[in-house]
Structure 1
Amino acid sequence: MSNSDVVLRHPTLEDGTAIFDLVDACKPLDLNSHYLYLLQCSHFASTCVVATLHGEPVAWVSGYVPPQQPNTFFVWQVAVGQKARGMGLGKQLIEWVVGQQQGITKIHTSITPDNEASWGLFKSLARRWGSDLTQADWFDSQAHFGGRHATEVLVEIPLPTTKE
């Protein structure tokens, strides 16, 4: 399989179940409700991207523009299935969906301290863009999650003035 076999596009409502299954297979990602993935594939489709291989979703990025931060794109979830790993799809999908937005100058995401794959992805994006990656504790394990989830660290990366 090569990147030329992969198609990037905004999701449709019909992708919701396959995306739910994809995320479910991509531990340690938090699996959200099936209903949420249907909302992301409909109400938030313009800020999400799915990569398909022969029509099958193999990678997914969901995100949104926070209402009070119109210059920020929040990357909510990145899932790359086993069939598509090692192709750089996580970066490709983020760059593609951010490139579809207007007026975005930075991205935010949140990552648990132990999620090495996500840290690697976002540090790699910062290097690629020649940007600094800043981080700060955001949702605290005890104060916000009642001890049921690890602390989420807020990550910010400014976008380059001109994207490659």
Structure 2
Amino acid sequence: MSNDDYRFPAPPREKTELEEGALFSPRFDANGLVTAVVTDAEDNTLLMVAHMNAEALSKTLSTGIAHYWSRSRQSLWKKGETSGNRQHVIEMRTDCDQDVVHLKVRVEGHAATCHTGRRSCFYRIVLTDDGEARLEHDGSAPLFEIDEVYGRKG
């Protein structure tokens, strides 16, 4: 760990201290993760939801660039490292019990966040009809060719 790495203390036992105190002590789940909700700093568009372990959270705080933990790859992931669509953290907040962080970011590059090439991972609307749920695209199109950027489809 470099000198810029952050270490996170155990959450306080007192609920009042956790909810009202000034100590940032994220409550990582049994897998060592906190949920990260990511929105655009300018227009508040919901871009993505991901997870962070202590290392990802520390690197995000020390570099100002969003880092996440990939549950599927079981590895640290610097957002935009392959695509160029880095997320610059403008503000980070935590919820009342410190088990979720909210990142307000500015995205560089194509301004896409989703690996499908779209700006947001939330490009489908859940609709219900006669007791069945279905998905409908919101009309957003990919901002780049994913096979060119990632060297593969999807």
TM-score, length-scaled by structure 2: 0.29
Structure 1 or 2: larger helix share? 1
- Larger Rg over CA atoms: 2
Structure 1 or 2: larger strand share? 2
TM-score, length-scaled by structure 1: 0.28
